[in-house]
Amino acid sequence: MKIKEATTGLYRVPLRNPHADATHGHMNQVELVIVKLFTDVGIEASGYAYTIGRGGAAIKALIDQELIHLLLNEDPRYVESLWEKMWWQLHWVGRGGVATFAISAIDMALWDAIAKAAAQPLGAILGLHRDRVPVYGSGVDLNLTLDELLEEVGCFVERGFTAVKIKVGKNDPEEDLERVNAVRNFLDGARGRGRIVLMVDANMRWDVPKAITMGREFEKLGVLWLEEPLIPDDVEGHAKVANALSMAVAAGENLHSKYEFKRYISAGALDIVQPDVVTLGGVTEWLKVAAIAEAWNLPVATHFADEIHVHLLCAIPNAMYLEHHAYRLDDYLINPLVLKDGYAIMPDVPGHGVYFDETKLTPIDGVK
Ligand SMILES: [Mg+2]
């Protein structure tokens, strides 16, 4: 199998509802950079990178100008070798950021081709541990009023989710505590199949003293994990927070390589590992992070990209949760993720199964 052609497209995807967290403000769109690979055996494969509204054109340019030529006439099954070539091609300007996003989209497409060539789901190619994984409902909801927040959480409960995450990081910490307390009480009133788990996400808003102070309050409310209390650059700070709290500290969506995860984990700065296949460098790098986590006896709970992460979580022993993210791409997917009784089901189709209906996508001017 040889790659004969590769194409890219850049699209803007409006979100159904505007969202907000503690650091990125209001967000109302996602960008998608979709890569397609065409092989000499008739297999067409695809992968994608997403952004939260900025940077997509740079990712597409890196793929078009620096990476595609590395793929032509190469065999997708040599994905480790191709990943290494891409990493070193962009190393000077890369080792993270948009370079990693560009590699991710291609790596995902390479794995799609490998799985399609074997006529197997991606998870099966990687070696299955399970065929479904528990999901948690994840709100990007700092902009919601308390009533709206409880309504959102109620929708998660109605759908059978056994865990829920909300945003924190309001200017007034008392407001954060009021919201978390209200959601905890609501969930306790709604419990059916045991206590519904609650997590919180500060999206890098705080410093160490504030994170520890808030974390101690959240512990009293039985919150399972505190996500991204600090900027991702502050490994030592995360270790201090993790040491000071009995609740778990979670992070990973802003870590862009296995080396960054290694630094965090070896510093004792993470209790729950949250790799994102798009921000991290693709399936190849994601699997290595999951293995590092396993060796440190840590669970993996993914960030966004639910539809492809279901394959990856089904293929590792230390899977904890799939994030069912508030940013839904279902309207644009040919086969949206299937959820049942609080679990996401790995699709039993060849490849990863994450294919966009491009008739519903809006190309960004002049760059399709
Ligand atoms: Mg997060």
Residue 298 and residue 273 in contact, taking contact as beta carbons nearer than 8 Å: yes
What distance in angstroms lies between residue 136's CA and the mean position of ligand 1's atoms?
12
pLDDT the model gives residue 27: 77
Among candidate residues 161, 171, 174, 304, the one with its CA nearest the CA of residue 227: 304
Active site residue 303: yes
> Could you tell me the distance, in angstroms and rounded to a whole number, from the CA of residue 314 to the centre of ligand 1?
21
Residues 19, 29: Cα–Cα separation, whole Å: 9
Choose, from 19, 165, 167, 258, the residue flagged as catalytic. 167
Give the tokens for residue 172.
């007034």
Residue by residue, pLDDT tens for the chain (368 residues) are: 999 999 999 999 888 777 778 888 777 889 999 999 999 999 999 999 999 999 999 999 999 999 999 999 999 999 999 999 999 999 999 999 999 999 999 999 999 999 999 999 999 999 999 999 999 999 988 999 999 999 999 999 998 899 999 999 999 999 999 999 999 999 999 866 688 999 999 999 999 999 999 999 999 999 999 999 999 999 999 999 999 999 999 999 999 999 999 999 999 999 999 999 999 999 999 999 999 999 999 999 999 999 999 999 999 999 999 999 877 888 899 999 999 999 999 999 999 999 999 899 888 864 44
Q: Exposure of 353 by Cβ count < 10 A (0-12 exposed, 13-18 middle, 19+ buried)?
A: buried
The β-bridge relationship of strands 343-345 and 132-138 is antiparallel
DSSP strand pairing (25-39 vs 197-201): unpaired
Catalytic-labelled residue, pool 303, 311, 325, 352: 303
Cα–Cα distance, 191 to 193 (Å, whole number): 6
pLDDT at 367: 46
Contacts of 314 (CB under 8 A, 6+ apart): 123, 128, 129, 130, 131, 132, 133, 346
Å from CA of 108 to ligand 1 middle:
22
Q: What is the token pair recorded at 139? A: 């709100």
Contact 110, 85 (CB under 8 A): no
DSSP track, 198-263: EEEE-TT---HHHHHHHHHHHHHTT--EEE--S-TT-HHHHHHHHHH-SSEEEE-TT--SHHHHHH
Classify residue 336 by its DSSP letter: P
Please tell me what DSSP assigns to residue 141: B
pTM recorded for the entire structure: 0.96
> Dihedral of CA 314/316/321/324: which sign?
negative
Tokens of 265: 């984990």
- Listed by start position, the domains of the chain span 3-119+359-363, 123-345
Between the CA of 79 and the centroid of ligand 1 the distance, in Å, is 29
Integer distance in angstroms from the first to the last C-alpha of the chain?
27
* Contact between residue 6 and residue 71 where contact means Cβ atoms under 8 Å apart: yes
Q: Does residue 182 contact residue 200 with C-beta atoms inside 8 Å?
A: no
H helix runs in 65-166, sequence order: 68-71, 79-89, 97-117, 122-126, 146-158
- The rounded Å distance from CA 203 to ligand 1 centre is 6
Q: Which CATH superfamily is domain 123-345 in?
A: Enolase-like C-terminal domain (3.20.20.120)
Distance 37 CA to ligand 1 centre (A): 31
Between the CA of 201 and the centroid of ligand 1 the distance, in Å, is 6
Helix (H) or strand (E) holding 339: strand 338-340
Q: How high is the pLDDT of residue 238?
A: 98
Distance between Cα 47 and ligand 1 center (Å) = 22
CATH number for the segment(s) 3-119+359-363: 3.30.390.10
Annotation says 288 is catalytic? no
Q: Which two tokens stand for residue 264?
A: 């965090």
